Amino acid sequence: MGRIDDTVEEIRRMETHSSSIVAIKAARALTELAERGYANLDDYERALEQNSGALRRANPSHASLYTTQREVVDSVVGQATELDEAERLTGAAVERVIDRVENGKDRAAASAAETFEDGEVLLTHDYSSTLLGAIEVATPETSLTVYVTEARPRFLGRKLARRLTRTEGVEVHLGVDGAAGFFLQNRPVDRVIVGMDCIVDGVLYNRIGTFPIAAVADKFDVPLHVVGSSAKVIEDGFVFENEFRPPSEVSLEPIDDVSIENPAYDATPADLVDTVITETGQFAPE
């Protein structure tokens, strides 16, 4: 298989957890088309649309994957008069979207880092590379205590906890998802801060388990902040589609007369989110 096919399979298997990294890999995979030796411009444009569509369909829940792929296609199809020009436009568009995603992610992390206060106690869920970057920027000058929930059934929170143990100035606590309410009620948590898969029309879509944490945080008046690149904030043109993971992630053995459901994401209403932090600043989700 070529790079595009390999990337499609990698996205489907969720081998890469960060949606920003998924978008970057998918964009870079499109440069393979210039190596295939298409006979004419029409064939190239048709192949670009087909392969970009395959990459988008590999995970229709990733807004940044959708927006970056659409930008590359729109920058090429109908914009060139010769095949070599279309290939150059593709390369330029790929580099442009990669630069924006990478810089947006880094700047969002820097923006979030500025909000941390020395001695602050945080609770987070799942694995956010942007949040991890923010903590790494803020510490060790700012000491933090971070409660991490596992993000079952794939336990991506454990990955974040392990990474945080290598970050000077961070005291790390790990608990099961169901312990979030206990932590918020019985520990001095100053705020919940999570990453985002995307925000569409003011609704936060993130790893399953985010919504109940947000609801409990609201109950105990603990603010919820969300951090991520502005490329993940979509106002129109994108319809979020949840992903349903294999039942084997929940139970290795089938259970008679039980239908195992394993949604990857949930939807947190805007009124439960206090602040969204991106590279462009801070704002309310609505």
Active site residues: 197
Do residues 273 and 204 touch, judged by C-beta distance below 8 A?
Answer: yes
**Plot region of 254 (φ>0 → left; ψ -120 to 50 → alpha; else → beta):** beta
> What kind and span of H or E run contains 149?
strand 144-149
Angstrom distance (rounded) from CA 173 to CA 31: 42
DSSP structure class, residue 201: T
> What residues form DSSP beta bridges with 122?
146, 191
* 203-207 β-sheet, strand order: 233-234, 198-200, 203-207, 265-268
**Nearest CA-CA partner of 102 in 28, 164, 157:** 28
